[in-house]
Amino acid sequence: MRVFMRKLTLVMLDVFLLTITLYLAIATKFGVKLTKYYLSEWFMIWGTLVVVGIVCNSAFKLYNSLWRYASIDELFLILSSGVLTGIVFFGAMNLLDIEVAYSVYFLIIVYNTIFLGLSRLGYRMLRMVSSTTSLRLDQDVKRVLIIGAGHTGIMVIKELRRHPELRLRPVALLDDDINTHGSQIMGVKVHGGHDKVQEIARRFDIDEIILAIPNAPRKVQSAILNECKKTRCKLKILPSISSLINEDVTIKNIRNVQIEDLLGREPVNLDVDGICDYITNQVVLVTGGGGSIGSELCRQIARYNPKQLLVLDIYENNAYELQQELKM
């Protein structure tokens, strides 16, 4: 029922806008007062335009789209419907043998396309302005710095604005491409490269940093994340570009930073079965076993049930403390 009422509302709106379109087109050509000819033929001309307009809009599914998510694709459909309406209306007037000035057809296309765009995309613009304004006035909203001003960064901004309930407001961008420095993307300024992370985090009182460069090498991502850790802001990251193939960036793709992201390389997958066969029921000696690396190695070896684990270290206290730990 709600879907039907929404479509009916749009149809009635289009009837009104097509009426205004026809009047403005004729008035622009001949003046505010319509000529006797157009007054006498008004209902036939108006009725034909309304029918043609509604049919063309339906053909391009302008009554099925969710306009809160309108994009460039919907803009193309609006333009196509506006042009087709003018062309079909021209053909209908010739079939009905009603003479209409050629400039009126052109003006109908222009006005109809403008009104279609305002009535559809205008809703999204108002919704975006409303949500952005409310976020700016909200004292509890988290301020977000996005690293990466490419396609992925733009998608992140769109997603954050599409979901105001997350209370995340993008306030600054960083990108190593100097051609983007100083420019604005969807109202968010690019302030420089990732070397300015700490400066921007302090200046804009950043609460959360999102790394939006999934196609960057792991070493680059690791270096940037290590720089971000110095800010004490909450860090989030997008997965590798291979994980995003055939999938648009959405809120569900953004995750917390994991230890593997800081390695600067792909994590090593251990052959657990092979290690188990090699160590289980064997006598294992670890030299330097009391140090930081040696002690961790002993802890890992102990998990595979060796027959005996021997710890050799120049410092007896370290070896003794490790022995007590492994006994627990």
pLDDT in tens, 99-118: 888 999 999 999 999 999 88
**Average per-residue pLDDT for the chain:** 83
Residues of the chain above pLDDT 70, percent = 80
Same domain, 19 and 94: yes
How high is the pLDDT of residue 150? 86
Beta carbons of 65 and 120 less than 8 angstroms apart: yes
Residue 233 lies in a domain: yes
Same domain, 69 and 153: no
* Greatest mean pLDDT range, 63-67, 135-139, 286-290: 286-290
Domain boundary among 240, 262, 284: 262
Cα torsion at 202, 208, 214, 217 (round to 10°)? Answer: 40
Domain count, the chain: 3
Same domain, 189 and 277: no
Domain boundary among 133, 151, 175: 133
Which range among 7-21, 165-179, 236-250 shows the weakest confidence by mean pLDDT? 236-250
pLDDT (mean) for 59-74? 71
Same domain, 129 and 151: no
Question: Whole-prediction pTM value?
Answer: 0.51
User: Is the confidence at residue 68, as pLDDT, over 60?
Assistant: no
Residue 267 lies in a domain: no
Same domain, 257 and 276: no
**pLDDT-based confidence at 242, cuts 50/70/90?**
very low
Residue 44 lies in a domain: yes
Q: Find all residues with CB under 8 Å of 142, minimum gap 6, and list them.
A: 167, 168, 169, 207, 208
How high is the pLDDT of residue 206? 93
Structural domain boundaries enclosing 320: 272-327
* Greatest mean pLDDT range, 63-72, 88-97, 273-282: 88-97
Cα torsion at 95, 97, 102, 108 (round to 10°)? Answer: -70
How high is the pLDDT of residue 207? 92
Distance CA(93)–CA(95), nearest Å, equals: 5
* Greatest mean pLDDT range, 101-110, 125-134, 273-282, 291-300: 101-110
